[in-house]
Amino acid sequence: MQNFFEINAETLNKAFTINGTTSRRAYWYFIAFTWLATAVSLVIDRFIGGDMVYNIVNILLFVPTFTAAIRRMHDTNHRGWWLLFPIVNLILLLSSTKPNRWAETK
């Protein structure tokens, strides 16, 4: 079983990949990682003044978070376009995993 850091490293390695799926666990671990990185960047910015670190962290994590959400939609057997509908996509992201057309075959 992968730990928190391994799952997030794998998600970051797939930063520009929208094909395939992301499990519910991997998706929410990555969301927790982004929240943690954002909180740390805010603390750092508090000490040095400004919001430069916060902005850099958010820019660097935008694409991996977006593509992870698309892959999570695939895991729930929905298209990534559902992310354009905020309330609906939250419900779909929380929904259970179903057999789907995007599942990776090994």
> Taking a C-beta distance cutoff of 8 angstroms, is the pair 102, 74 a contact?
yes
Q: Where are the domains of the chain?
A: 4-70
- Which two tokens mark 85? 């509908």
Strands, DSSP E only, in 6-106? none
Residues 6+ apart with CB under 8 A from 35: none
Burial call 49-64: b when 16+ CB within 10 Å, e when fewer: eeeebbeebeeebeeb
Tens of pLDDT, residue by residue over 31-60, are 999 999 999 999 999 999 889 999 999 999
Tens of pLDDT, residue by residue over 68-92, are 999 988 887 888 888 887 777 677 6
Cα 35 from chain centre: 11
